[in-house]
Chain A
Amino acid sequence: MTINQSGWKPAAPVQGPGDTGTITGNRALMLEEPLIFELDGADTTGVDLAPAPKVASRLGGLERSEAIGLPGLSEPETVRHYTRLSRQNYGIDLGLFPLGSCTMKHNPRLNEKMARLPGFADIHPLQPRETVAGALELINQLAFWLIDLTGMHGVAMSPKAGAHGELCGLLCIRAALEARGDAREVVLVPESAHGTNPATAAFCGYRVENIPATSAGRVDLEALKARLGPDVAAVMITNPNTCGLFEPEMKAISDAVHAAGGFVYCDGANFNAIVGKVRPGDLGVDAMHINLHKTFSTPHGGGGPGSGPVVLSEALSPFAPLPYTAKTADGVVHLVEEEQAEAFSQEHFGGAMQSFGRMTAFHGQMGMFTRALTYILSHGADGLKQVAEDAVLNANYVLRSLEDVLDAPFAHSGPCMHEALFSDKGFADGFSTLDLAKALIDEGFHPMTMYFPLVVHGAMLVEPTETESKAALDQFIAALRHVAERARAGDEALKSAPIYAPRRRLDETLAARKPVVAFRTPAPDANKVSGLNEAGGQ
Chain B
Amino acid sequence: MRYLPLTDADRRQMLDVVGAGSIDELFRDVPEAARLFGPIQGLPMHAPEMAVERHLSALAAKNVPAGSVPFFLGCGAYKHHVPASVDHLIQRGEFLTAYTPYQPEIAQGTLQVLFEFQTQVARLTGCEVANASMYDGSTACWEAIGMARRITRRKRTLISSGLHPHYVAVCNTMARFTGDTLVTGTPELAAETDIEQLIGQIDGETSAVVVQYPDILGRIADLTPLAEAAHAKGALLIAVVTEPVALGLIKPPGEMGADIVVGEGQSIGVGLQFGGPYVGLFACREKHIRQMPGRLAGETIDAEGKRGFVLTLSTREQHIRREKATSNICTNSGLCALAFSIHLTLLGEKGLRQLAELNHARAVQVAERLAAIPGVNLVNDSFFNEFTIELPVEARPAVHRMVEQNVLGGVSLGRLYPGSAALANGLVVAVTEMVTDEDIDALEGALKEVVA
- Least CB separation from B104: chain A residue: A506
With A64-B250, A120-B274 known, 6 other A-B pairs at CB within 8 A are A46-B346, A78-B345, A93-B96, A380-B47, A507-B300, A518-B118
Max chain B Cβ within 10 angstroms of own Cβ: one of A64, A99, A338: A64
With beta carbons under 8 angstroms apart, the residue of A70, A134, A283, A293 that contacts B120 is A70
Q: Is the CB of B63 within 8 A of A110?
A: no
Q: How far does the alpha carbon of A387 sit from the alpha carbon of B351 in the complex, in Å?
A: 47
Of B199-207, B229-237, B328-336, the segment with at least 4 beta carbons within 8 Å of chain A is B328-336
Interface string of A292-336 (1 = CB under 8 A from B): 010001011111111100000000000001100000000000000
8 pairs of A and B residues whose beta carbons are closest in the complex:
A72-B348, A362-B275, A119-B60, A301-B335, A134-B62, A60-B382, A93-B93, A125-B275
Max chain A Cβ within 10 angstroms of own Cβ: one of B10, B42, B122, B322: B322
Interface string of A198-212 (1 = CB under 8 A from B): 111111110010000
Q: How far does the alpha carbon of A200 sit from the alpha carbon of B174 in the complex, in Å?
A: 12
Chain A positions within 8 Å of B172 at CB level: 357
Interface string of A20-64 (1 = CB under 8 A from B): 000000000000010111000111111101111111111111111
Chain A positions within 8 Å of B367 at CB level: 58
Q: Is the CB of B109 within 8 A of A304?
A: no
Max chain A Cβ within 10 angstroms of own Cβ: one of B14, B289, B354: B14
Chain B positions within 8 Å of A204 at CB level: 174, 177-178
With beta carbons under 8 angstroms apart, the residue of A43, A47, A70 that contacts B83 is A47
Q: How far does the alpha carbon of A422 sit from the alpha carbon of B432 in the complex, in Å?
A: 55
Q: How far does the alpha carbon of A492 sit from the alpha carbon of B358 in the complex, in Å?
A: 62
Q: Is the CB of B135 within 8 A of A536?
A: no
With beta carbons under 8 angstroms apart, the residue of B87, B95, B105, B277 that contacts A498 is B105
Q: List 18 A-B contacts (CB under 8 A).
A: A51-B358, A57-B364, A60-B382, A79-B88, A94-B94, A125-B77, A128-B403, A131-B63, A134-B60, A204-B178, A245-B29, A248-B31, A302-B113, A380-B39, A392-B23, A417-B29, A504-B306, A510-B301
Total A-B contacts with CB atoms under 8 angstroms apart = 754
Q: Is the CB of B275 within 8 A of A366?
A: yes
Of A141-149, A258-266, A481-489, the segment with at least 4 beta carbons within 8 Å of chain B is A141-149
Q: Is the CB of A114 within 8 A of B298?
A: no
Decide if B18 is an interface residue (CB 8 Å cutoff): yes
Q: Is the CB of B348 within 8 A of A393?
A: no
Q: Is the CB of B3 within 8 A of A102?
A: no
Q: Is the CB of B275 within 8 A of A70?
A: no
- Looking at the assembled complex, report how far the CB atom of A271 sits from the nearest CB atom of chain B, in whole angstroms: 13
Interface string of B84-115 (1 = CB under 8 A from A): 01011111111111111111111111101111
Interface string of A239-276 (1 = CB under 8 A from B): 00000011110110000000000000000000000101
Q: Is the CB of A536 within 8 A of B61?
A: no
Interface string of B326-362 (1 = CB under 8 A from A): 0111111111101000101111111110110110111
Chain A positions within 8 Å of B302 at CB level: 503-507
Q: How far does the alpha carbon of A338 sit from the alpha carbon of B414 in the complex, in Å?
A: 12
With beta carbons under 8 angstroms apart, the residue of A127, A363, A381 that contacts B408 is A127
Decide if B57 is an interface residue (CB 8 Å cutoff): yes
Contact (A301, B95) CB under 8 Å given A124-B272, A381-B43, A441-B103: yes
Q: Is the CB of A361 within 8 A of B49?
A: no
With beta carbons under 8 angstroms apart, the residue of B109, B167, B351 that contacts A72 is B351
- Looking at the assembled complex, report how far the CB atom of A519 sits from the nearest CB atom of chain B, in whole angstroms: 4
> How big is the A interface, by class?
35 or more
Chain A positions within 8 Å of B310 at CB level: 506, 508, 511
Q: How far does the alpha carbon of A87 sit from the alpha carbon of B112 in the complex, in Å?
A: 12
Q: Is the CB of B97 within 8 A of A91?
A: yes
Q: Is the CB of B276 within 8 A of A50?
A: no
Q: Is the CB of B222 within 8 A of A62?
A: yes
Q: How far does the alpha carbon of A362 sit from the alpha carbon of B75 in the complex, in Å?
A: 11
Q: How far does the alpha carbon of A82 sit from the alpha carbon of B137 in the complex, in Å?
A: 26
Interface string of A131-175 (1 = CB under 8 A from B): 111110110010011001100000000001111101100010010
Chain A positions within 8 Å of B318 at CB level: 163, 195-196, 198-200
- Looking at the assembled complex, report how far the CB atom of A7 sits from the nearest CB atom of chain B, in whole angstroms: 13
Q: Is the CB of A85 within 8 A of B312?
A: no
With beta carbons under 8 angstroms apart, the residue of A62, A279, A356, A512 that contacts B173 is A356
Decide if A532 is an interface residue (CB 8 Å cutoff): yes
Q: Is the CB of B115 within 8 A of A35?
A: yes
Q: Is the CB of A91 within 8 A of B96?
A: yes
Of B65-73, B181-189, B444-452, the segment with at least 4 beta carbons within 8 Å of chain A is B65-73
Decide if B153 is an interface residue (CB 8 Å cutoff): no
Give residues 411-438 of A contacting B (CB, 8 Å): 414-415, 417, 437-438
Q: How far does the alpha carbon of A415 sit from the alpha carbon of B318 in the complex, in Å?
A: 30
Q: How far does the alpha carbon of A58 sit from the alpha carbon of B385 in the complex, in Å?
A: 10
Contact (A518, B119) CB under 8 Å given A376-B43, A377-B47: yes
Chain A positions within 8 Å of B77 at CB level: 124-126, 362
Chain A positions within 8 Å of B93 at CB level: 91-94
Decide if A215 is an interface residue (CB 8 Å cutoff): no
Decide if A347 is an interface residue (CB 8 Å cutoff): no
Interface string of A520-538 (1 = CB under 8 A from B): 0000000000001111111
Q: Is the CB of A123 within 8 A of B64?
A: yes
Decide if A468 is an interface residue (CB 8 Å cutoff): yes
Q: How far does the alpha carbon of A70 sit from the alpha carbon of B341 in the complex, in Å?
A: 11
Decide if B228 is an interface residue (CB 8 Å cutoff): no
Contact (A167, B123) CB under 8 Å given A59-B382, A506-B310: no
Chain B positions within 8 Å of A381 at CB level: 39-45
Chain B positions within 8 Å of A88 at CB level: 94, 106-109, 112
Decide if A226 is an interface residue (CB 8 Å cutoff): no
Q: Is the CB of B46 within 8 A of A378?
A: yes
Decide if A287 is an interface residue (CB 8 Å cutoff): no
Q: Is the CB of A518 within 8 A of B66?
A: no
Decide if B30 is an interface residue (CB 8 Å cutoff): yes
Q: Is the CB of B138 within 8 A of A361?
A: yes
Decide if B295 is an interface residue (CB 8 Å cutoff): yes
Q: Is the CB of A36 within 8 A of B116?
A: yes
With beta carbons under 8 angstroms apart, the residue of A121, A251, A441 that contacts B271 is A121
Q: How far does the alpha carbon of A283 sit from the alpha carbon of B24 in the complex, in Å?
A: 19
Q: How far does the alpha carbon of A414 sit from the alpha carbon of B349 in the complex, in Å?
A: 60
Q: Is the CB of A110 within 8 A of B49?
A: yes
- Looking at the assembled complex, report how far the CB atom of A392 sits from the nearest CB atom of chain B, in whole angstroms: 5
